[in-house]
Chains A and B, each alone.
Chain A
Amino acid sequence: MVERPISTLPGSDSASLDTPALVVDLDAFDANVNLVHGFFSARSANLRPNAHTHKTPALAHRQLAIKGSASGIAVISISEAEVFASNGINDIRITTQIPTYSKLNRVAVLSKSCKVSLIADNANVVGMYSEAVTAKNSSVDVLIDINVHEDRPGVHSLDHALKLANLIHDLPGLNFAGIFSSGGPLGGSSTNSLIERDLKALDTFLDYKSFLQTKGIAVTEASFGNSTHNYALIGETKGITEVRSGAYAFLDANHAEHCADLKHAAYIISTVNNRPEIARAVTDCGQKAIGRDLGAPEVLGQKNLIAAAGSAEHGLIDSADGSMLNLSIGDRVNLIPADISTTFSLHDIVYGIRGGIVDSVWHIAARGAFN
């Protein structure tokens, strides 16, 4: 229900944190946020932090306080939206289509106290949106989800988009706000092939915008997401109003090769429990503490150490060349997760540290907010 780390007071040495501990290095976090938001503050597009990545209201507030941000955050579920709204965030975009009335009733309630925007690619669902919000005398913004990658949701044709835009425009309680897309996954591709793919996707995406505009429909917003690896490319494209990104603030291992300008800002501190073989150490950080669904972690700043194997409760550190490991029982090892969102989804508490001192202890309040 709630993990039970040993309570560590702000002001303590980070070496006193019990492990495995999820920490955010605030100097690196602030540097990433200032860099990326600084880029957007000089352009017409804004950055909408994808708060699903950290699920932590305190971090969302920290992001939104920096110039260059959009007026709110993106999340993936109504229950995440509820958590962030109750923690003082008042503009929330839910980036999954919601085809059930029980959840739409919650959206309608939330929309009375918070600006809520939804996405859609289906006419029946748009009808449900209208019905649910008008029943509560409320209204929501709706963006049309445009498909630019085969394994993502979204409409595939200009005509379909036009029909949906007209429907949203005509139905009570709905404001047609514009278009939305989620780009594609990283999928182990090279930076160059991602750029090529993303440029094509952007062309497709913006074709929808021009088409709708030629039909006399105002497209206020054009929001493109999954954009840590290409925030600058997307952000300076004319016609884009908003870039959604989450991992930019932390730089996990999966994004590292594509993002030379960002710093690793979140990691797990683990402890060596065993030294059973010359070239192998066993740590207390297994899959349940770091997550390996989207790849294996890396050892922070030590390319000669490999953390590729590991099981539910144990992590394994091997020396890359089979030589003697310079690690003893009780030593600490910092691990960069492959995917930082997964790691946040496993913890209830994240520690903010600065200069080796625990600065803050934050609740990952939207952890487990799946439904």
Chain B
Amino acid sequence: MRKIPLPGTAVDQLDTPVLVIDLDALEKNINVIATHYSDTKIKLRPHVKNHKSPQIAWMQVNAGGTVGGVCAAKVSEAEVFVEAGFPNVLIANQIVSAPKIQRLMSLAKRANLMVVVDDLEQVKLLSESALKTNSTLGVLIEVNTMMRRGGIRSVEQGVSLAREIVAAPGLVFKGVQSHQVPETDAPNMAERFDQGQKFIGMVLDVKSAIEEVGITVEIVSTGESWSYDIAASMPGVTEIEGGTYIVMEVPYSYMSEFTLAAKVIGTIVSKPSENTAIGDISIEAIGSPNGPPTVEAQEDVVVESMSLEHTVLKSTNSMPLDVGDRYTLLTHQQDITMNRWDQYVGIRNGVVEAVFDVTARGCSN
């Protein structure tokens, strides 16, 4: 759905529900990273699954402190970012189906492409196709530290897989990769550093073991926004994959240097009782797999539930919102929310400044 409000439109004139992105907050978040990594050897690799926007990714890269390339979750996302001119894309996921591998090899002829593996079967499939298409593909080993998704489960597995990759024609062994989230909600600084050092330490263990058998490990790509400052202090890590910090989410607010930049604005459409108001932001427009969103700047008002049509808002006292009033919801999982929308409406000081596509929305192939 392509429906673009004119720049200069007041935010309170926008038809709702609408996803807006506060450009001051976005720029501030980008600047925190650019400053932190301005003179470090380790750099940030922006994860584009979070915002799915080449425009935002270029803002990140141009601000500095990044590896100059991006990280993607899917082949179709990587296609969007290669088309948008990024020279270097790491797909932090395993690619196993024949048509996707063909697309990957086509991309690898136009940009520096890397993928992750955790099984010999994937290595064989990739090598066979690289050989057939005369392409070269960078390969990293995914290390499981706590997610229990993909990733090798032991150091030995990592070493033997590294040997297989080195021996596989068409593939270039690049290093190790891992993704983690904090084990506890809202960790304090000490807890956060403990957890980050523990998980990243596991990745570095695999790196050392691979190096001990004489294989060069060029890249150690790990972490997320919550460990950006931890990884920077751990020798051996070469890059941090960061995505959440860009527009932020409520449960991440313990990372107080970053500011919530994306919000969904809705309108109250009905007030069926004294302490209940019904709003027009549906669950499809924001997504809430991790619990209901938070209502901005309305201390007494909470989201009671969300349906396919509506938000149900309750107030402890008399509901301050009336039919026609606006309300704003703050997401608890930003990338789920961004993936529901076709455009970012960029706002500054209450006025629309820029509208740009969520170009890789829906790229789950």
- Write the residues of chain A forming the contact surface with B, with a CB cutoff of 8 angstroms: 1-6, 16, 18-21, 52, 76-77, 79, 83, 95-100, 102-103, 121-122, 124-125, 145, 147, 150-154, 156, 182, 185, 271-277, 280, 282, 284-289, 291-294, 311-314, 316, 328-330, 339, 341-342, 345-348, 366-371
Contact = CB atoms under 8 A, between A and B. Distances in A.
A313 B74 contact: yes
A121 B272 CA distance: 8
Given A20-B365, A276-B149, A293 B289 contact: yes
A99 B267 contact: yes
A20 B100 CA distance: 11
A122 B278 CA distance: 13
A1 B287 contact: no
For chain B, what secondary structure do more than half of its interface residues adopt (helix, strand, loop), or is it mixed?
loop
Contacts, number: 219
Contacts of A277: 148, 153
Contacts of B270: 97, 121-122, 145, 153-154
Given A125-B323, A371-B15, A96 B363 contact: no
Given A289-B364, A312-B333, 14 more contacts: A6-B100, A6-B365, A18-B99, A18-B365, A96-B269, A99-B267, A153-B269, A154-B270, A276-B153, A286-B364, A288-B335, A342-B284, A348-B362, A371-B15
Interface of B: 1-3, 13-18, 49, 73-74, 76, 79-80, 93-97, 99-100, 103, 118-119, 121-122, 125, 144, 147-153, 267-273, 276, 278, 280, 282-285, 287-289, 304-310, 312, 323-324, 333, 335-336, 339-342, 357-365
Nearest to A3: B362
B305 to A, nearest CB: 6
B96 A342 contact: no
Nearest to A296: B289
A368 B1 contact: yes
B46 to A, nearest CB: 16
B364 A346 contact: yes
Nearest to B13: A102
A368 B340 contact: yes
Contacts of A21: 365
Contact of B363 (A3, A79, A156): A3
Contacts of B122: 329
Contacts of A96: 269, 280, 309-310
B339 A330 contact: no
Contact of B358 (A1, A125, A274): A1
A31 B126 CA distance: 42
Given A18-B100, A339-B308, A150 B359 contact: no
B269 A97 contact: yes
B310 A153 contact: yes
Contacts of A151: 276, 278, 304-305, 307, 312
B365 A346 contact: no
Contacts of A348: 362
